[in-house]
Chain A
Amino acid sequence: MTAFDAIRAVLIIPALAAGLLAALPGYRVTSRINVVASLLTLLAAGSLFFLARPEPGSYLFIDDLNIVFIVLNCFVGFTTSVFSMTYIAHELETGKLTPVYLRFYHAMFQIMMFGMNLAFVSNNIGLMWVAVELATLSTVLMVGIYRTPAALEAAWKYFILGSVGIALALFGTILVYMAAQPVVGEGTDAMVWTVLIQKVSAFDPALLNVAFVFLLLGYGTKVGLAPLHAWLPDAHAEGPTPISAVLSGLLLNVALYALLRFKMLLAANPAAISPGPLMVILGLVSLIFAAFMLYRRRDIKRLFAYSSIEHMGIIVFAFGMGGPLANFAGLLHMVMHSLTKSGIFYAVGHIAQIKGTQRIADIRGLTSTHPWLGWGLVLGVVGIAGLPPLGIFMSEFLVVSSTFARQPLLAIPLVFGLLVAFGALLLRLTGVAFGEPTGSTAPARASYVPMYAHFLLVLGAGFYLPPPLVSWFQNVAGLLG
């Protein structure tokens, strides 16, 4: 089998699974099928490493950049499916979900995986746009799945803002096509990324500039950059926790990936504005804004949603800075954040189920009552706050130090934001994990495997990055320019 089959497998397995899951009743079977399908997808994705790269087709292709995203995507998708087995079982018992919705949920989960994988492997900016929209719509439906007023409102907000974002992104895409068309010629080729990146230097800079603004805002809405972030906290807070995990861990990455592709295009055109400054500014704004917003949060899932905004800010900032060090740091940070944040959401999901609330004020002393969950949360928050020995420390180290050496004035707000966010996260953590326990002390019926699997990976990365991974990251960092 060639890599192309692997790519197709990555797309087809979820699609088939979606159909199957939509048809089958019964949660035991479906949830297992869900896991199996995700596992198969992961295997297919993993095989991409070892198989020879095919020539990029006009619709699908695989290169150093997107393989990172695909593998990460499938991995987190797999662990999430494992996590959602226990989680959804509990939701069924408490009657928050009915079997019908459960079927729907599993189908949607696979469709979303399909959409995201498609977005990654698509070599065609039009196709990529469609895929992103598909992924977004499927998550919208899942966010509203509880049908409480808050959930519906969150889904609605997500839907409207998302649609506007989609529209802007499309306009940007059209502009890129317009820019490409005179050089590349009419037809599909003018939308094939691999072709564009070769010829982009000849494109009309003015068109590219306008295009980038629309793309930045369009896909930036999905990345959750302030001030386009509004949908993100509520969508995380009101949807089922597995979806929160996937949103933070994956969907933001999808949009980020799209953004990066176009950044590379623009960077390759000498006459166009350099995308760096815009991204740096948006990143800083998001970071500092989110850092302050963390202080007044009362809902634990919304808290971590805002921390996702904060970290997306850091990542976008890093990519905006550019250069081998910063890009490396950005990639590393993205991977680490996906793993850590989804792990945190696994923990939070179980915690919320045990305590029967998401109000931070009602959750206390977890390390005493539920040591595994409590210390897991501590580990995750410590990691997300950028403390060693977890992986994010390394990326933050690189971002801050390299920035301060190049642009001291940019490093000050960066450090300020980091510190403010740290203060808020630690404040909440102290309340939740320590102190006199409150609420139910019933033992958790949860599988800690996904959570601790993520944390162990991040922990390992904090100590030691395997050389192949490193050279590969450096390679990609080089691609990003």
Chain B
Amino acid sequence: MNGLSFDVAHLLAGGLVLISFMMLYQDRLYSLLNIFAMQAVVLALAVAWQAFVQDAPHLYVTALIALVLKAIIIPVALHRTIERLGIHREVETVVGIGLTMLAGIGLVALSLLLMLRVTIGVDALAREDLSFALCVVLLGLLMMVTRRNAVSQIVGFMSLENGLVLAATGAKGMPLVVEISVAFSVLVAFIVIGVFLFRIRERFDTVDVGALHRSRGDSE
């Protein structure tokens, strides 16, 4: 494949990783949501580019889903959730932002280290894509475990899933990609609804140890 397409794909994928870092950096919920929307847009571009390069038209559907659902609907929904439930606006972090960033860099190093062992036999694009996708996935997970708010955890999960979609689309001629992305969107939708229905305010930790003592037969 020619250099240009490669570079573009590379650029977009790299952009995703960068945006993941920006998300880690944020400490306000709204801006977090905005940046997530931005990541969704970039993902949509990347997917579309892959569709164009591999001339696999069905991938455009995935791109569209990414654009419509993740870049528009879900962020809006979450905005409204935040307002409705009166969740206060700061991102509560478990460890300091700086530390999180350091950890993130470590993760990136790790994923590159892992992927560089892969033989060159696999075509370069896939290889780069994979390593970036792995970065995004790991950063998403990192976000989930270092943020207390339900919302930011959901965001983390969705960015993790962005990484998955990136990988899936990067894998040339992979079947079921669309179905999978649909399935995942359903999942995410469930989660958002869940947050909204169950009034899960501050964190997934609604049921803290004390609550457990009450609600479970497992207390002393």
Contacts and interface: CB of A to CB of B under 8 A. Distances in A.
A contacts B directly (C-beta below 8 A):
yes
Interface of A: 126-127, 129-130, 133, 137, 148-150, 152-153, 156-157, 159-160, 163-164, 166-167, 170-171, 174-175, 177-179, 181-182, 186-188, 190-191, 204, 206-207, 210, 234, 237, 296-300, 302, 357-360
B192 to A, nearest CB: 12
Interface string B147-170: 000000000010011011001100
B217 A174 contact: no
A102 to B, nearest CB: 21
B167 A174 contact: yes
A164 B145 CA distance: 12
A182 B122 contact: yes
A127 B157 contact: no
8 contacts: A130-B180, A137-B190, A174-B168, A181-B126, A186-B174, A210-B114, A234-B216, A298-B220
B113 to A, nearest CB: 11
Nearest to B111: A210
Contacts of A149: 207, 211, 215
Main secondary structure of the interface of B (DSSP, over half): helix
Contact of A156 (B144, B163, B198, B215): B198
B118 A181 contact: no
A174 B159 CA distance: 17
A76 B105 CA distance: 48
Given A153-B207, A174-B174, A188-B175, A160 B191 contact: yes
A177 B174 CA distance: 7
Given A156-B198, A237-B217, A164 B114 contact: no
B218 A150 contact: no
Those 7 A-B pairs whose CB atoms lie nearest each other, nearest first = A186-B173, A299-B217, A150-B215, A206-B117, A126-B176, A153-B207, A359-B217
Given A160-B191, A204-B118, A167 B218 contact: no
A359 to B, nearest CB: 5
Given A133-B187, A191-B175, 19 more contacts: A126-B175, A126-B180, A130-B183, A137-B190, A164-B144, A167-B157, A167-B161, A170-B180, A178-B122, A179-B122, A182-B121, A190-B174, A191-B174, A204-B118, A237-B217, A297-B218, A298-B220, A299-B218, A302-B216
Contacts of A175: 130, 167
Contact of A171 (B137, B183, B194, B220): B137
Contacts of B179: 130
B219 interface: yes
Highest count of chain B CB atoms <10 Å: which of A148, A174, A186, A302: A174
Contacts of B167: 171, 174-175
Contacts of A296: 218
A127 B179 CA distance: 10
Interface residue tally on B, bucketed by range: 35 or more
Contacts of A130: 176, 179-180, 183
Nearest to A174: B167
B16 to A, nearest CB: 15
A302 B217 contact: yes
B200 A156 contact: yes
Given A178-B171, A186-B172, A296-B218, A204 B119 contact: yes
Interface of B: 114-115, 117-119, 121-123, 126, 130, 133-134, 137, 141, 144, 157, 160-161, 163-164, 167-168, 171-176, 179-180, 183-184, 187, 190-191, 194, 198, 200, 204, 206-207, 211, 215-220
A191 B122 CA distance: 16
A187 B122 contact: no
A163 B114 contact: no
Contacts of B187: 133, 137, 163, 166
B119 A181 contact: no
A298 B219 contact: yes
Contact of A302 (B137, B211, B218): B218
A292 to B, nearest CB: 14
B216 A237 contact: yes
A159 B191 contact: yes
Contact of B216 (A157, A164, A299): A299
Highest count of chain B CB atoms <10 Å: which of A171, A179, A182: A171
Nearest to B137: A171
Given A149-B207, A170-B164, A177-B171, A164 B126 contact: no
A174 B164 contact: yes
B191 to A, nearest CB: 7
A220 B55 CA distance: 36
Nearest to B160: A167
A298 B218 CA distance: 5
Nearest to A130: B183
B167 to A, nearest CB: 5
Contacts of A166: 187
A178 B117 contact: no
A187 B175 contact: yes
A181 B171 contact: yes
Contacts of A234: 216
Nearest to A202: B121
Contacts of A187: 173, 175
Contacts of A156: 194, 198, 200, 204
Nearest to B174: A177
B121 A204 contact: yes
A172 to B, nearest CB: 10
B219 to A, nearest CB: 7
Nearest to A208: B118
